[in-house]
Amino acid sequence: MTNSPFNSTRKNHLSTLVASPDSIFRSHVLQQLAARNCLAVEACGGAEALAVLEEGKCHTLLLDPILPDLDVSELVAIVRSRHPQVEVHVLDGQNSKSGVGGDGELRSSSAEAFRLIQNSREARIPNELPDPHRCPPPPAAAPPEEIEALPGMTGQSESLRRVYRLVRLVAPRPTAVLLTGETGTGKELVARAVHQLSPRRDRPFVVINCAALPEPLMEAELFGYNRGAFTGAFQSRLGRFQVAHGGTLLLDEVGDLPLSMQAKLLRFLQEGEIQRLGSPDTLRVDARIIAATNANLPRLVKEGRFRDDLYYRLAVFPIEIDPLRARREDIVLLGQHFLNRLSEEMQSSIRALSPAAVRALERHSWPGNVRELRQVIERALILAEDHLEIQPEHLSWEGEETSSERNLRTMA
């Protein structure tokens, strides 16, 4: 057997990853790579490609420019940040353009992979590759598609439709998900949607607020303890991880985990095992991890307050939820949704927002996001009393008094 780059690839158990929604193309490239004794794997989209790369067994990523889930430029940036040793090559509609990780030089295995694509796609690759650090331009914008909202969520802004797409893509897989966004944007709702759309939907969904647990009690709360493990431990108790066995565990405000607990969480993510306080035995636990935070975890990593290895384990599939002020087309939809639901709960006949109230809602900056909007609508519904519609004088923002409240205070 000759000493080709593909033989060395086989020897080192590294492979080429072909990511494309075109199953015929993937199959053809994989067959040709296999004929040259090269290990190769395939992915139908960006999320699946990221999950494969996390295993650390691929040295080359070949990408179609249009993926069903992630923008290709965004995916290339994620791969270069997390996996700088992986060469990334992207085809545009007519020619091949390459974004190369590492030292910027094409290895012979990658060059061979490109030749295979050339054979597979009728000379879509030019003789000279362009600037390796330049990604292809994003494809022309398509008309907005109607995407079904996630369970419990309302809104049709472009950024929210992107969240819907990503959640539906990742939900069936066991991949760890990291939800980021400001307080009140609905991260727990998104986490619940991931759970409800997953094969684990009939198993427990357990929420842990990492910011609310005192550090001395955190290990016992998360991992449980045996009888006699400490003063007051009169009987054994299951931890939250065991309660979530077979289901999903949401680590809310994960950025507030102390470093000592970060190490224990990392062990669980790596080994799938926990150890109760007061027990020498390890227990296998099958729980899908979703982490949520409003903190800037990369900055915490740089400051030494969050482990980088844990960050990369949690952020296999990041989903960012934009603040409400960045998706203003959702404000009225959400406001009407809350009004309908709260009217039913309070048995109120008020089911409409006046045009002036709509304008007032749209002008507000919403620092508290969706949570603030719900509170504003609930308060307005109470103040509106026998009105047919909610008017601007019924709306109040944090720290402000409505004209209705001033009138009530004057009457008192």
Tens digits of pLDDT across the chain (412 residues):
333 333 333 434 578 888 888 777 777 777 777 777 778 888 887 877 887 887 777 888 888 888 776 777 778 888 887 788 888 888 654 433 444 333 333 344 445 555 555 554 443 333 333 343 444 444 444 444 567 888 889 999 999 999 999 999 899 999 999 999 999 999 999 999 999 999 999 999 999 999 988 887 888 888 887 776 666 667 777 888 999 999 999 999 999 999 989 999 999 999 898 888 777 788 899 999 999 999 999 999 999 999 999 999 999 899 999 999 999 999 999 999 999 999 999 998 888 999 999 999 999 999 999 999 999 999 999 999 878 899 999 998 875 555 554 554 554 4
HSE value, Cβ hemisphere, 13 Å, CA-based, for 340: 7
Domains and CATH numbers, the chain: 5-120 (3.40.50.2300), 158-320 (3.40.50.300), 325-411 (1.10.8.60)
Which residue has tokens 């008094």?
A: 401
CA–CA distance, 7 with 36 (Å, rounded to integer): 8
What is the phi-psi region of residue 87: left when phi exceeds 0, alpha when psi lies from -120 to 50, beta otherwise? beta
Q: How far is CA 292 from the centre of its chain?
A: 9
pTM of model > 0.85: no
The per-residue pLDDT for 225 is 78
Amino acid identity, position 242: Q
CA distance 362 to 339: 16
For 134-171, give one letter per residue: b (16+ CB within 10 A) or e.
Answer: ebbeeeeeeeeeeeeebeebbbebeebbbbbbbbbbbb
Q: Which residues pair with 17 in a beta bridge?
A: 41, 61
204, HSE (Cβ side, Cα atoms, 13 Å): 16
**250, 188 Cβ separation under 8 angstroms:** yes
Of 102, 98, 103, the C-alpha closest to 114 is 98
Q: What is the pLDDT of residue 6?
A: 36
d(CA 109, CA 37): 11
Q: Which residues in 240-351 belong to E strands, given as ranges? A: 248-252, 273-275, 282-284, 288-293, 317-320
Q: Please, which residues have CB within 8 angstroms of residue 304's CB and are 6 or more apart in sequence?
A: none
Q: Where are the alpha helices (DSSP H) in 121-214?
A: 158-170, 187-196
- Return the SS3 of 282: strand
User: Could you count the other beta carbons within 10 Å of the beta carbon of residue 370?
Assistant: 23
Place of tokens 């982490």: 291
Q: Which residues contact 88 (CB under 8 A, 6 or more apart)?
A: 61, 63, 76, 79, 80, 98, 99, 100, 101
Per-residue confidence (pLDDT) for residue 47, from 0 to 100: 76
Q: What are phi and psi of 33, to 5 degrees?
A: -65, -40
